Amino acid sequence: MIDWQNEDLKYIWHPCSQMKDYETFPPIIIEKGEGINLYDINGKCYKDVISSWWCNLLGHCNPRINNAVKKQLDNLEHVIFANFSHKPVITLCQELAKVLPKGLCKFNFADNGSSAIEMALKMSFQYQIQTGNTNKKRFMALTDAYHGETLAALAMGGVDLYTELYKPIMLEVIRIQAPDCYRCPYGKNRESCNCECFIKAEEQFEKYGKETAAIIIEPLLQGSAGMKIYPALYLKKLREICDKYEVILIADEIATGYGRTGKMFAFDYAKTSPDIMCLSKGLTGGYMPMAIAITTQKIYDAFYDDYSKGKAFMHSHTYAGNPLACSAAVEVLKILQEDTIIEKANEKSKYFNRIIKEKILTHKNVGEIRSIGLINAIELVKNKYSKEPLDSNNRTGYQIYKQALKKGLLLRPLGDVLYFNPPLIIEQPDMDYVTNIALESIKEVLG
């Protein structure tokens, strides 16, 4: 009989993992999935409330998406996307254009989120050069940001866990102090403030705006920073200052798009538009690797000229616009619209947010529970009144993660921030179950 765990460890180097941990906590071999449930080779069920790295939008093995991919598979699996096209990718662009923030209309395809970020950065730089702004060669980003792990995308990030080692080979980025509404230095509240913290952005734009090609931002929610949530007013102010200094505004909606925050896109809360929007994760419902950098006609036009002028955007990916991925993505949009998934998720989020706060917020080590859409982040602290963090060396979040897995709940904490980011189709019985298991696991580790 094959020992699948040992065979895994014999060959596989898992992402974002210290493999030595696997000596005492070996990989769980998943055999099948259905809805929010994953089943291992022994039949044990795990509730996937992190949407398998935030991409599983409509549940595992969704019948409609399954059928869309199967149908496409009999017609066309892949074709070079230079000078060739196909119906699924055209249909996807037609349908997505209807729901995007105003002005976004040109689609450039990649096969993962980091690559879409790389495209957006390169587009911004080349746009500035080709429109006469030859001094604009730098980029801005927030502290605690995360934008992917290819080299330029990594440079935009501000989480030392990912970036510290590689700083000698990364771009030097102009860093803006990000909003921190839990520990607000101005003593304000995210629900009623005037984004006083935006002064930090104003200071950096005043110093460096004339040499900045673009700024990249995670709208409303800084994911890897610990699901930090900030007001939509910040985005409005950022749009205005970018216009003033002719800086391209890039919205990284890879994690926040497709209903995760309660609207189709997080930028919708601000009732304004970025110049470039990057999408991935929920785009195909977690089925196929695909990403898009979507931009405006104005930016597109700066690249449109005779070939001999050398203005083309010379960036390509082998699997750009893959027909199987596009078929999945088209079906995801249909399901969202026909079944009013986001609207229903917003109704369910009221219950989910309430029971999580009622059951978990009273624990002595829970400092804050912050919510947007169905996302709920639980920040664990040493002292909830002083907001002093736990000792990171104790890896408290990781210990709770292991306890929850024993009970059939898949949490994957961000340091000492536990979070729920479930498929949008989660129902109340599962909300009750996962909340109870999370609380039990917290108590077993922290008392």
At the topology level, CATH places domain 67-338 in Aspartate Aminotransferase; domain 2 (3.40.640)
Q: Can you tell me whether residue 88 is helix, strand or coil?
A: helix
Give pLDDT, residue 65: 98
- pLDDT for the residue numbered 432: 98
pLDDT recorded at residue 110: 97
CATH 3.90.1150.10 placement within the chain: 4-61+340-446
Q: What is the pLDDT of residue 404?
A: 98
* pLDDT at res. 352: 98
Q: Which long-range contacts (CB under 8 A, 24 or more apart) does 189-195 make?
A: 190/229, 190/230, 190/231, 191/231, 193/231, 193/233, 194/233, 195/230, 195/231, 195/233, 195/234, 195/237
Separation between Cα atoms, residue 388 and residue 382, nearest integer Å: 5
In the chain, list all ranges with CATH 3.40.640.10: 67-338
Rounded Cα–Cα distance for residues 422 and 260 (Å)? 9
CA distance 396 to 160: 19
Residue pLDDT, tens place only, 287-339: 999 999 999 999 999 999 999 999 999 999 999 999 999 999 999 999 999 99
**Cα angle, residue 79 at apex, residues 279 and 121 outer, rounded to 5°:** 30
Please count the helices (runs of H) and the strands (runs of E) in the chain: 14, 17
Contact 78, 322 (CB under 8 A): yes
**121 contacts 249 by C-beta, under 8 angstroms:** no
pLDDT 10s digits, 333-357: 999 999 999 999 999 999 999 999 9
- Spatial separation of the C-alpha atoms in residues 56 and 274, rounded to whole Å: 25
Computed over every residue of the chain, the mean pLDDT equals 97
The strand order across the sheet containing 212-217 reads 104-110, 291-296, 276-279, 248-252, 212-217, 138-142, 174-176
pLDDT at 353: 97
168 exposed, middle or buried (CB, 10 Å; 0-12, 13-18, 19+)? Answer: exposed
**CB distance 408 to 437 below 8 Å:** yes
Tokens 């304000």 sit at which residue? 188
What residues in the chain have per-residue pLDDT under 70?
A: none
Q: Which of 3.40.1160.10, 3.50.50.60, 3.90.1150.10, 3.60.110.10 would CATH assign to domain 4-61+340-446?
A: 3.90.1150.10
Would you say 405 and 413 are in contact if contact means Cβ atoms under 8 Å apart? Answer: no
pLDDT at 46: 98
Pairing of strands 138-142, 45-48: unpaired
What number of CA atoms fall less than 13 Å from residue 375's CA on the CB side? 27
